[in-house]
Chain A
């Protein structure tokens, strides 16, 4: 049976509804921020949508100076590194995300463990990415 538990819906919900929406397995309760049609834990196929609160803590990060082509087009590079990292969502799972509102030139000032919240200030409609900023 067709379903729309996929990245297309994930990014549509992000940019149109400004929500982080993943899935929950109805059998075992496993949460996944990335919508997927099958539970990786119990291997069931019965998933349902799950909206995450958007509250998280910063688990680890990096400040990237040698940037991909897309980020170079946005003005990032050696003199203007950007921060990306992994956040632990309030509900438990982790996810990779851009970290906005921090100084990429001063990584020492960015603290793992700090509270972060979903950020839509810098959302690129054509190439949307999940982003957080300090709470």
Chain B
């Protein structure tokens, strides 16, 4: 056990010098390779000094299940071909919804090892080909197929069970969960790449006007909470979780360019350092020490904080894995922003909002930005990159000296967690 807690260092420092995102949403005409090229184009066109694509020496792409979603295995060489970089080695990394978080980690270590100087990492997922039931089955296969899935547990079901345990143990209630979604939609409304660029209130008003156009009785919703508490508008998915507690089914891709720190200024005026990386595994929920926490998130964040030499007090903002609203609350506690059980109150008090003291999911999070599972981990890094460079537009965090941001990317129901600490160097 002693070696697990050892403080680790990279062999040499690594920086991010470019970041790109495809549009997130439902795109029936596009395949995952097209989405990846779209993210790559977004990255290249926004790099400070442009990019000679032939400089890329190696790549890692996160993808959960092109096999089941698109009937396409072995996606890595296809990405190489579509970027025109064959014979550069490209490796697909699968760690469920943490696939690209893990891909980034591999890229960082490939540079830190001294083997490569310029490595592309990213992720993509094309999910909307399947109907909801099919997607439910594919996502459930990230849980234990022998002992969780036969028990009827789905992906939302396991997080529903976590939510129930949190409600039993602490003062957490259904409104707390809904408020996480409202907050993330407020941020998503400011993100031009998001799947849902609307506040919950705006979605409610749109529903009302559609009903009115059809000449039907307009529901008596006065506030967003009225709307969210209407079982017709916001049906149960896995009690205590409703539709608006769940991240959507999304097509999308993300990528960032990693280089060794000593050459970073050849590519970027403001490179962002990868100051700390952490990754950990966890057991199925029933075998975890606690039903209200993900042990892998605690372990991964500790590794990343130790490597970067930061504490929670140094962290200016975070992108966390809100596949479900309860997951953001649990993450905010596992990462140390709030004591166990204090996450819900922090949401109530607006502490995690864009102007709060611990802004979480400024991008809109997985809930509003969208959750193309294999792309989500690097998608989080893209947001922190833009925030730390002060180029996040309408959703830019207004803190002075924005310096340190973290990402928290969960695979499955906590079997994997990847945490990265990113830093703008002065």
Contacts and interface: CB of A to CB of B under 8 A. Distances in A.
Interface string A39-65: 000000000000000000001111111
A72 interface: yes
A60 B291 contact: yes
A66 B151 contact: no
A133 interface: no
Contact of A63 (B149, B158, B236): B236
A55 to B, nearest CB: 17
B331 interface: no
A128 B152 CA distance: 11
Contacts of B278: none
A94 B152 contact: no
Nearest to A104: B239
A7 B157 contact: no
B311 interface: no
Most chain B C-beta atoms within 10 Å of own C-beta, residue among A65, A69, A85, A129: A65
Interface in B211-244: 235-241
**Secondary structure dominating the interface of A:** mixed
**Interface of chain B, main secondary structure:** helix
Given A68-B136, A72-B133, A129 B152 contact: yes
Nearest to A94: B286
A34 B168 contact: no
A107 B236 CA distance: 11
A128 B150 contact: yes
Given A34-B147, A84-B151, A107-B240, A94 B164 contact: no
Size class of the contact patch on chain B: 35 or more
B154 A86 contact: no
A86 B150 contact: no
B275 to A, nearest CB: 33
Nearest to B136: A68
B287 interface: yes
Interface residues of A, number: 34
Given A60-B161, A63-B239, A84-B153, A34 B140 contact: no
Listed residue (A59, A71, A81) with the most chain B CB atoms within 10 angstroms of its CB: A59
A67 B147 contact: no
Contacts of B163: 62
Nearest to A87: B286
Contacts of B168: 60, 112
B390 interface: no
A69 B239 CA distance: 19
Contacts of B146: 7, 34
Given A59-B165, A96-B284, A107-B240, A7 B147 contact: yes
A65 B151 contact: no
B171 interface: no
A95 interface: yes
Interface of A: 7, 11, 34, 59-69, 71-72, 78, 81-82, 84-86, 93-98, 107, 112, 127-130
Interface of B: 132-134, 136-137, 140, 144, 146-154, 156-158, 160-165, 168, 235-241, 284-287, 291
29 contacts: A7-B147, A59-B291, A60-B291, A62-B153, A62-B161, A62-B163, A62-B164, A62-B241, A63-B238, A63-B239, A64-B157, A64-B160, A65-B239, A66-B156, A66-B238, A67-B133, A67-B136, A67-B154, A71-B152, A72-B133, A81-B236, A84-B157, A86-B291, A95-B147, A98-B152, A112-B164, A112-B168, A129-B150, A129-B152
| Cβ-closest 5 pairs across A and B | A62-B160, A96-B151, A84-B152, A63-B239, A60-B165
